[in-house]
């Protein structure tokens, strides 16, 4: 039985896929990370998003990672599975697999290789095929920095005409668009900030939460922004929000997954290496990142005893 | 004596320059418009911004419009004069003129024709020349839709190193940047949303107000968003904000000054014609605009008795 | 024994992958198409380029298509295999497979999903890994319309430092860059126009030929442009070139693979359906395309007896 | 009586406006430069183009520079006057002034400040107003690097419907577009390459010449490319073309007018300072430029005795 969509809100990290030094999926490391994150009030986890290096995994590995995550994620947390693939057929197959193993929601990136031909009609057709067949609700994943396509409000509203398309993670940062989408579709369509840099302004516009790379390394802070906002303490929310902007940029636009994994290593989680063509941070970059974590007030959880 | 910068906050419309049907500055129409706006609690007025068609005026007309506006704007309202010109020399001259006639602040667009050479250093030099000579404080005007240049946070912080550069009107919509600038410079640097579509999220990030085309036709609504926000009623602010998004897009990104002037005509202000190469709205577009004003709840002030 | 690179010049079509109406690889149709093309003096074929819908095939299908093409392509023609994949590991694997079955060259698209992190260094590392392991020479594939990344001259020169990187197919249309690359690297680096719209100007800058979607439907015309140019008849080359611009745009930037396949169907080859998320042309679009083919002087080969 | 448009071909430099060290128009320096250039077979001169810093001059200075140039340019050379201004009215006025003093052609940049509203219809209206009133033929000036707008082929063809719009200087580098425009309009519409980096490929597509910043410092080389091309020696043309690419980039995209003026100073012409917000080259940049001139084979005319 599908979960009540009203519960899909708050903070979810799109978790990295841990690799061993031999570039293999490090299954135990995933379990350790999820156990640690479970100590926070995170709503759930996104598996195989951009930070999960999903596009760099083989088809077999994708199934393995989803299955492993399903084992590790407790029943009271949401599991969102990234299932976007270049072809409609593959996307349907992966979403169906995700449904079969018990993922709650499929996160679907728009196919972008032939972006010049991805008209609104083509996208509606693609999402409808997936939403018809998946067996679980679909969350749109707008990620212009990776796809080179920025879904506009009209397109999002057109995609949402399918009853099984229940929301969006938007990483583009255009909060006016988020507001327009929320105004058009109301609370039944779940809008999530896709990057922690604009979590607070997105909430102000009607977003219900955030799917945030930063939540992997600063779950307490991301949760605190959300909680302060919903309890009417906008000034308190802003203070944390502003403090998070530089470190969020470091682990997203500036250094991406490699930066995020390095930060996890520095903070007592398992980050480990990225997979080529991505490149690990240099020693020098790691030192710079460490200083930024420090300025943001982020230290090993064990040392600060942060809970949320 | 310069005004206390702490008072520069709230809502200011960048007012259109009224032209007669013979394409001449319609001096009396300006007075009538300002008198009507004075019934609202607007902080002041921006004269010769993008909506003022400043770039389409002759040098002589620019002086005339600034002088006329100074006569019409009461002493308890701020007068911000748009003085950006392609050359540093002209920008200095116009800013000095603005200071001489009693404008409170000069709004300075970055020169953009040679944008490929507008390095951070060149911009620092330009703004420093103006800020040294103007005699009144300088507000940066970031307007990527018109200049094709988007000043980034580091550049804005570099420009703000000059003590006479006291804030920014940013029309680009990147609220993360607004947050980063505010975090770096604090309350001494006045951040204004440059378009009403993101007024609320900008306030959430630390902006002190908005310089908004929409405030020409919906002063009460813009003021109400600001007031609701500062009094802690974010939900109330959001309701008005979301309602304003479509009509704001109509009078900015979609139809620009011609749309704004047509809306003023429809709402009982004087809009009048735009100057070439701009093109007035067609009958059909005016009808569509009228329907949008209606949906946004904007009607003739006389009919709704809106006050703020 | 690898072929002499000096022979890699002239015209090669990046051939579509034919699908049956049940969306399966139509093996026989591929053979028929190649047999027909073999009647022209094409240098060879690119298999699994953008027009081959390579990114929409399963890993298994990719191997099948490459193997089938190898059977069908005569020994006196070059076989270039598209082997670009999102991960370095997969790209190496596919290039090695291509080498094993006897492809002459691997065409390698830069990985673009994490484009924000695809620094020159990351790209050099990726291409070097592939070039070290492939066992056949590597041709760079610059395709900004699909990848959202435009490799600049400096990056191309850096990639070409590897002795096994022997040239580029550049579809971006910046002929100044092609000239700069040719000037820097000389004739040992084979520059190919990646789209027929700029074949002649690319040849003028030093390109040795073209890898052209248009060559699937207008091999004689593409060959004639090349031949006229190398024999010093630039005016004759221009006449054909200008006539080809609109129809080339139709089967590339405007309608892409779906347009190309429809044109093949209209001209007596097998085009067949595209695979989702791509969408076949509508009846109306097909009629428009037919008129464009007619204006370009392209009709069924059987009817015009074109030879080159 | 207007000159025969068929003579408008070959190479024209868009000449810089010389300023004294006190930032005033250096009238005598202009005469000296033109006298020196007259020793080459240049077709004529463009005055107040982008390299003329036209947008940085006062209205009075623009008239002075045009009048001075008219005195200095011999009757057997074409004088093309840059007359693009932000407003239609000003553009008309300046074009009429240019006609009155005897300029042969007006070069008209599209107004770009309100680029979001510069629909094809608005541009057609603007150019028609200017073409109706100017009294001399109009050359369109497409300059995306400065205007942030790139006129497409359809728009250019629409503008060319006015019989007084006789050609284009296109600096964007899209040679496919140049070909499409030439194919649509034929020889009556004069297409000029707007930058020397793509002179040869533009000629291959049907351009009749180039309006080239580089022609200020390398007139012999630019003329030699053109001559070699029209006499069927494409290989010879290419050799010079490729050698010119780096130095052309230095005085255009990289360092712009400041680079061009510095190069003129190094080569025995008068370059002098640029006007703010432009910034002169540093000593270090000048040294780098000097080395580039040397590599391109460009030295003081006196030393090499180049004639064309």
Examine residue B280 and state whether it is found in any structural domain, yes or no. Answer: no
Hey, of B82, B114, B120, B261, which one would you mutate to test binding to chain D, going by the most D CBs within 10 A of its CB? B114
Q: Does D51 touch chain C (CB under 8 A)?
A: no
**Interface contact C282, partner A, CB < 8 A:** no
Q: Are C179 and D202 in contact (CB under 8 A)?
A: no
User: pLDDT at position A308, please?
Assistant: 39
Chain B touched by A241 (CB under 8 Å): yes
- Whichever domain contains A207, its CATH number is 3.20.20.70
- B281 falls within a domain: no
Distance from CA of D65 to the nearest CA of C (A): 33
pLDDT of residue C302: 56
Residue C61 is encoded by which pair of tokens?
């299908």
Query: What's phi and psi for A165, nearest 5 deg?
Result: -95, 110
Three-class secondary structure of residue D72 per DSSP = helix
With an 8 Å Cβ cutoff, is D60 touching chain B? no
Query: Do D147 and D109 meet the contact criterion of CB atoms below 8 Å apart?
Result: yes
> Quick one: pLDDT at residue B307?
41
Residues with pLDDT less than 50, chain B: 305-308
Looking at residue B308, what is its pLDDT? 40
D143-192 pLDDT, tens digit each: 999 999 999 999 999 999 999 999 999 999 999 999 999 999 999 999 99
| C181 neighbors C207 (Cβ within 8 angstroms) | no
Distance, CA of B118 to CA of B155 (rounded, Å): 11
Structure tokens at D38: 């007259």
List phi, psi (to 5°) of A14: -85, 105
Contact in structure between D164 and D156 (CB atoms under 8 Å): no
> Who among A173, A180, A204 is closest to B245 (CB)?
A180
For residue B125, the chain D residues in CB contact (below 8 A) are: 276-277, 279
Please answer yes or no on whether B179 and A202 come within 8 Å at the CB atom: no
Instruction: Write out the two tokens for D264.
Output: 């003129």
- Tell whether C116 is covered by a domain: yes
Q: Do chains C and B touch (3 or more CB pairs under 8 A)?
A: no
**Catalytic pick from C9, C100, C169, C261?**
C169
Q: What is the DSSP string of D4-26?
A: PGGG--EEE-EEPPPB-TTSSB-
Domain count of chain C? 1
Of D112, D122, D258, the CB nearest to B117: D258
Q: Do residue D58 and residue B90 have CB atoms under 8 angstroms apart? A: yes
What sign has the CA pseudo-torsion B203, B209, B210, B216? positive
| Residue C23 contacts A, CB cutoff 8 Å | yes
Average pLDDT of chain B, as a whole number: 96
Residues of B in contact with D125 (CB under 8 A): 276-277, 279
Residue A95 lies in a domain: yes
Catalytic annotation present for C177: no
Among the partner residues B179, B201, B246, nearest to A205 by beta-carbon distance:
B201
Q: Which of C24, C25, C62, C114 to mutate to test the interface with A (most CBs of A within 10 A)?
A: C114
CB-CB contact of D83 with D95 (8 Å)? yes
User: Does the distance separating the beta carbons of B206 and A242 come in below 8 Å?
Assistant: yes
DSSP secondary structure, D252-287, as one string: IIITHHHHHHHHHHHTTS------TTS-PPPHHHHH
Determine how many CB atoms are found less than 10 A away from the CB of residue B282.
11
Which two three-digit tokens encode residue B174? 């990147």
How far from the centroid of its chain's Cα atoms is residue B79's Cα? 11
**Does B176 sit within 8 Å of A174, measured CB to CB?**
no
**Quick check: D307 pLDDT over 50?**
no
End-to-end CA distance of chain B: 29
pLDDT-flagged residues of chain C (< 50): 305-308
CA of A205, closest CA in chain B: separation in Å?
6
pLDDT at D230: 97
Residue of A nearest to C276 (CA): A88
Q: For chain C, which chains pass the contact test of at least 3 CB pairs under 8 Å?
A: A, D
Domain span including residue B15: 5-240
Chain D partners (3+ C-beta pairs within 8 A):
B, C
**Whether the predicted pLDDT of D72 surpasses 60:** yes
Distance CA A32, CA A45 (A): 14
| Residue among C52, C43, C42, C41 at smallest CA distance from C14 | C52
D40 occurs within a structural domain: yes
Distance CA C160, CA C124 (A): 9
**Do β-strands B105-108 and D165-170 pair in parallel, antiparallel, or remain unpaired?**
unpaired
DSSP label at C25?
Answer: B
For chain A, which chains pass the contact test of at least 3 CB pairs under 8 Å?
A: B, C
Residue with structure tokens 């609690």?
A: B41
Indicate the DSSP class of residue B26: -
Which structure tokens are listed for B133? Answer: 């000579």
B-contacting chains (≥3 CB pairs under 8 Å): A, D
| pLDDT of the residue at D308 | 39
Q: Do A129 and C276 touch (CB under 8 A)?
A: yes
pLDDT in tens, chain A (308 residues): 578 999 999 999 999 999 999 999 999 999 999 999 999 999 999 999 999 999 999 999 999 999 999 999 999 999 999 999 999 999 999 999 999 999 999 999 999 999 999 999 999 999 999 999 999 999 999 999 999 999 999 999 999 999 999 999 999 999 999 999 999 999 999 999 999 999 999 999 999 999 999 999 999 999 999 999 999 999 999 999 999 999 999 999 999 999 999 999 999 999 999 999 999 999 999 999 999 999 999 987 656 554 43
Whole-number Cα distances in Å, C203 to A229, C198, D205:
61, 9, 11
Instruction: Establish if A145 touches chain B: CB-CB under 8 angstroms.
Output: no
CA pair distance C203, C178, nearest whole angstrom? 10
Instruction: Give a yes or no: residue A281 inside a domain.
Output: no
- Mutate: best of A177, A191, A203, A204, partner B, most B CBs <10 A: A204
Report CA torsion sign: B116, B121, B124, B126: negative
Lookup result for tokens 């990147």: B174
Token duo for residue B280? 């007035």
**Residues 183 through 202 of chain A touching chain B, CB cutoff 8 Å:** 183, 197-198, 200-202
Classify A78 as helix, strand or coil: strand
| CA C42 remoteness from chain centre | 12
Taking CA–CA distances from B200, the nearest residue in chain A reads A204
Q: Hey, which residues 249-268 in chain C have their CB within 8 Å of chain A?
A: 253, 255-258
Look at residue A284 and tell me if it is in a domain: no
Chain C residue numbers with beta carbons less than 8 Å from the beta carbon of D197 are 176, 179
pLDDT attached to residue B6: 95
Please give, one letter per residue, the 3-state secondary structure of B94-131.
HHHHHHHHCCCEEEECCCCCCHHHCCHHHHHHHHHHHH
> Hunting for tokens 């020479």 — which residue is that?
C137
Under 8 Å CB pairs connecting chains A and C tally to 110
Residues of chain B neighbouring D111 (CB-CB closer than 8 A): 277
CA–CA dist C94, C98 (Å, integer) = 6
A190 domain-assigned: yes
Q: For chain B, say whether A180 makes contact (Cβ under 8 Å).
A: yes
8-state DSSP, B77? S
Which residues in B lie closer than 8 A to residue A175 (C-beta atoms)? 173, 175, 198, 201
Q: Torsion over CA of C240, C245, C249 and C251, rounded to 10 degrees?
A: -10
């Amino acid at each position: 039985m599908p979960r009540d969509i009203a519960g899909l809100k708050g903070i979810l990290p799109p978790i990295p896929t841990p690799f061993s030094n031999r570039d293999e999926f490090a299954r135990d490391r995933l379990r350790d990370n999820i156990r640690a994150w479970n100590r926070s009030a995170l709503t759930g986890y996104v598996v195989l998003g951009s930070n999960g290096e999903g596009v760099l995994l083989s088809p077999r590995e994708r199934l393995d990672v989803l299955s492993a995550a399903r084992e590790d994620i407790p029943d009271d947390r949401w599991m969102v599975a990234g299932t976007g693939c270049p072809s409609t057929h593959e996307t349907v197959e992966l979403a169906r697999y995700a449904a079969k193993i018990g993922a709650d929601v499929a996160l679907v990136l728009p196919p972008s290789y032939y972006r010049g031909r991805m008209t609104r009609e083509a996208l509606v057709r693609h999402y409808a095929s997936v939403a018809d067949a998946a067996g679980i609700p679909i969350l749109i994943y707008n990620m212009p920095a990776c796809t080179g396509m920025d879904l506009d409000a009209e397109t999002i509203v057109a995609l949402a005409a399918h009853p099984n398309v229940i929301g969006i993670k938007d990483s583009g940062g255009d909060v006016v668009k988020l507001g327009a989408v929320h105004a058009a579709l109301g609370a039944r369509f779940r809008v999530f900030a896709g990057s922690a840099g604009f979590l607070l302004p997105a909430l102000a516009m009607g977003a219900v939460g955030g799917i945030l790379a930063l939540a992997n390394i600063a779950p307490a802070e991301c949760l605190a922004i959300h909680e302060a906002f919903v309890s009417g303490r906008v000034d308190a929310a802003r203070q944390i929000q502003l403090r998070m902007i530089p470190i969020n940029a470091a682990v997203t636009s500036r250094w991406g997954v490699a930066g995020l994994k390095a930060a996890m290593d520095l903070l007592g989680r398992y980050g480990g290496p990225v997979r080529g063509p991505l490149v690990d941070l240099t020693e020098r970059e790691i030192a710079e990142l460490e200083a930024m974590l420090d300025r943001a007030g982020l230290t090993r959880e064990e040392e600060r005893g942060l809970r949320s």
